Amino acid sequence: MKKYSVFAIAREAMRAHKGWEEQWSSPEPKKEYDVIIIGAGGHGLGTAYYLAKEHGITNVAVLEKGWLGGGNTGRNTTIIRSNYLYDESAGIYDHALKLWDGLSQDLNYNVMYSARGVMMLAHNIHDIQVFKRHIHANRLNGIDNEWLTPEQAKEFCPPLNISKDARYPVLGAALQRRGGTARHDAVAWGYARGASARGVDIIQNCEVTGIKRGPNGEVAGVETARGFIGAKKVGVVAAGHTSVLMNMAGVRMPLESYPLQALVSEPVKPIVPCVVMSNTVHAYISQSDKGELVIGAGTDQYTSYSQTGGLHILEHTLDAICEMFPMFTRMKMLRSWGGIVDVTPDRSPILAKTPVKGLYVNCGWGTGGFKATPGSANVFAHTIARDEPHPINAPFTLERFRTGRLIDEAAAAAVAH
């Protein structure tokens, strides 16, 4: 792999950029691999990268039914933060955050991790109680998260409306300064390049149609659009399609897949300097390096694999944005799209072994998987390589739904009395 640098760019500039090599190769699938990862999103490609880099397992294929990075990785609003309440969640998200810082250098690919700060707005006393609980828990877990007054919030994000006359006035905010955004495509591409350079085969347009099990029930390989491919271990990292794939191995999942929409505005000069989220008025916003306001909110109410959703969902989202930023009513929506998010009953992910030997699953990230990408990939690679979870992902089992040992981040933000 030729190293990227400003010198490489200068060199290529002289020859019309004809000397760049392929960022990843597109090989034909081999007959068999040690590990097959299903799903070439950030989590899947990252898993392959860490398998090769940290565990020396390079006979790996990443199978993708479409184009790499084309699922939720390329469709999300790229918010990164780790200020979760429970120790288990804080553990995995902060593991990710630490990897984000330094990922560009590790991959030699600028993923543009931008620690511009994530500010979550409180609009009522219940919000304040919940946010303070997070802030205190985060502090004792060594995770930065600080309370801001409305005035401090406005100072951090000048266009924010903190008028007391607002329908739901801002009463304060929780700010994680290390939180921010990253360039989603670059994450997929950087991991793909790094994995490919270490010998991983990335095979696109190769839909998995079956998971084959051996005589003792163990995983034997996968049926694909391009024929059978043998494998000793299979990791399913397919976000919205996890239920479909796991069904092929006879494993039924505690998941439901919902449409999640997002939109961007036309690009404008810098105005929103950080990420702003509000659960109460229900929307979130940041501004991309191109100048587009990147906006998202909640899912549609019904399960769907259509990658589209209703206009009324975008309406609610923009209502909320214009409530927080009244000057944005004159801005224009440039593009809207949908992804398919897989949601668990406790809104926490599953990163675990499964009842099928050799089959591993990484799913259930709901609406917030992007931020976890490096951490999730890193410990999932560990889980596959060692056939046992890393301490960080050990709590994120499938069994917790049987025992009741849930990691209920959603419940922790319980509805107001």
Partner 1 sequence: MLLIHCPYCEEERPELEFRNAGEAHIARPANIVAESDEDFEKFFFIRANTKGLVYERWRHVHGCARFFNAVRDSVSDKFIMTYKAGEPKPKKLPGAGK
Partner 2 sequence: MSASFRISGKGRLTQARTARFTFDDKAYSGLAGDTLASALLANGVHLVGRSFKYHRPRGILSAGAEEPNALVGIHRDAARKTPNVRATVQELYDGLTAVSQNRWPSLSFDVGAVNDVASPLFSAGFYYKTFMWPKAAWKSLYEPKIRAAAGLGVSPDLPDPDHYAARFAHCEVLVLGGGAAGIAAALAAAETGLRVILCDEQAELGGALRFESGSTIDGRNGWDWAQAAIARLVAMDNVRVLPRTTAFGYYAQNFVGLVERVSDHLQSPDPDLPRERLWQVRAKRVVIATGAIERHMVFADNDRPGVMLASAARAYLNHYGVAVGRNVGVYTANDSAYAAAIDLKKAGVNVAAIVDLRDNPAGSVIDEARALGIEIHGGRAVVRVGGKLRVNSMTVQPKNGGGERTIPVDAVLMSAGWTPSVHLFSQSRGKVAFNDEVKRFLPGTYAQDCISAGACNGTDGLSACLDEAYAAGAKAAKEAGGKAAKPAKPKVEASESWSRGMLGAAPGAGSGTTVKAFVDFQNDVTAKDIRQAVHEGMRSIEHVKRFTTNGMATDQGKTSNMHGLAIAADELGKQIPEVGLTTFRAPYTPVTFGAIVGHARGKLFDPTRRTTTHGWAERNGAVFEDVGQWKRAWYFPKEGEDIHASVNRECVTVRKAAGLFDASTLGKIEVVGPDAAKFMELLYTNPWEKLEVGRCRYGVMLREDGFIYDDGVVGRLAADRFHVTTTTGGAARVMNHMEDYLQTEFPDLNVWLTSISEQWAVIAVQGPNSRKIIEPLVEGIDMSDAAMPHMSVREGKICGVPTRLFRMSFSGERGFEVNVPADYGEAVWEALWAEGQKHGACTYGTETMHVLRAEKGYIIVGQDTDGTVTPNDAGLDWVVGKKKTDFVGIRGLRRPDLLARGRKQLVGLKTKDPNTVLEEGAQIVADPKQPIPMKMIGHVTSSYWSENCGRSIALALVAGGRGRMGETLYVPMPDRTIEVEITGMVFFDEKGEHLNG
- Contacts (CB under 8 A) with partner 2, residues 295-354: 306, 308, 310-311, 314-315, 318-323, 326-337
Cβ atoms of residues 162 and 169 within 8 Å: yes
| CA-wise closest residue to 246 among 144, 353, 95, 391 | 353
Report the nearest approach of partner 2 to the CB of residue 134 (Å).
7
Q: In this chain, which stretch among 9-17, 46-54, 245-253, 389-397 interacts with partner 2, using CB under 8 A? A: 9-17
Partner from partner 2, partner 1, none binding residue 230, C-beta < 5-8 Å depending on class? none
β-strands 359-363, 79-80: how paired?
unpaired
Report the nearest approach of partner 2 to the CB of residue 45 (Å).
13
Half-sphere exposure of 344 (CA within 13 A, CB side): 28
Partner from partner 1, partner 2, none binding residue 129, C-beta < 5-8 Å depending on class? partner 2
Binding mask 227-266 for partner 2 (x = CB under 8 A): --------------------------------------xx
Cβ atoms of residues 349 and 362 within 8 Å: yes
Q: Which of residues 80-139 bind partner 2 (CB under 8 A)?
A: 87, 102, 104-105, 108-110, 112, 114-115, 123-126, 128-137, 139
d(CA 234, CA 236) in angstroms, rounded, equals 6
Binding mask 64-83 for partner 2 (x = CB under 8 A): --xxxxx---x---------
User: Smaller CB distance to partner 1: residue 200 or 363?
Assistant: 363
Does residue 207 interact with partner 2 by CB under 8 A?
A: no
User: Smaller CB distance to partner 2: residue 225 or 414?
Assistant: 414
- H or E stretch covering 195: helix 184-197
Cβ atoms of residues 73 and 42 within 8 Å: yes
CB atoms within 10 A of CB 11: 12
Choosing from 55, 58, 166, 244, the residue that interacts with partner 2 (CB under 8 A) is 166
Neighbouring residues of 363: CB distance < 8 A, sequence distance ≥ 6 = 236, 237, 238, 239, 242, 253, 255, 342, 344, 349, 350
Binding mask 336-365 for partner 1 (x = CB under 8 A): ------x--x--------------------
User: Smaller CB distance to partner 2: residue 102 or 210?
Assistant: 102
Number of residues that bind partner 2 (CB under 8 A): 118
Choosing from 58, 59, 204, 303, the residue that interacts with partner 2 (CB under 8 A) is 204
The DSSP-derived string for 142-158 is T---EEE-HHHHHHHST
User: Smaller CB distance to partner 2: residue 252 or 332?
Assistant: 332
d(CA 166, CA 2) in angstroms, rounded, equals 54
Binding mask 185-224 for partner 1 (x = CB under 8 A): ----------------------------------------
Binding mask 268-307 for partner 1 (x = CB under 8 A): ---------------------------------xxxxxx-
User: Smaller CB distance to partner 1: residue 402 or 417?
Assistant: 402
| CA-wise closest residue to 276 among 245, 297, 306 | 297
Does residue 253 interact with partner 1 by CB under 8 A?
A: yes
149 phi, psi to nearest 5 deg: -75, 165
User: Smaller CB distance to partner 1: residue 159 or 298?
Assistant: 298
Does residue 152 interact with partner 2 by CB under 8 A?
A: no
Choosing from 9, 149, 210, 225, the residue that interacts with partner 2 (CB under 8 A) is 9
Report the nearest approach of partner 2 to the CB of residue 113 (Å).
8
Q: Tokens representing 175?
A: 């700010």
Does residue 367 interact with partner 1 by CB under 8 A?
A: no
Partner from partner 1, partner 2, none binding residue 255, C-beta < 5-8 Å depending on class? partner 1
β-strands 227-236, 32-38: how paired?
parallel
| CA-wise closest residue to 65 among 284, 240, 212 | 240
Neighbouring residues of 267: CB distance < 8 A, sequence distance ≥ 6 = 288, 290, 291, 292, 334
d(CA 250, CA 205) in angstroms, rounded, equals 24
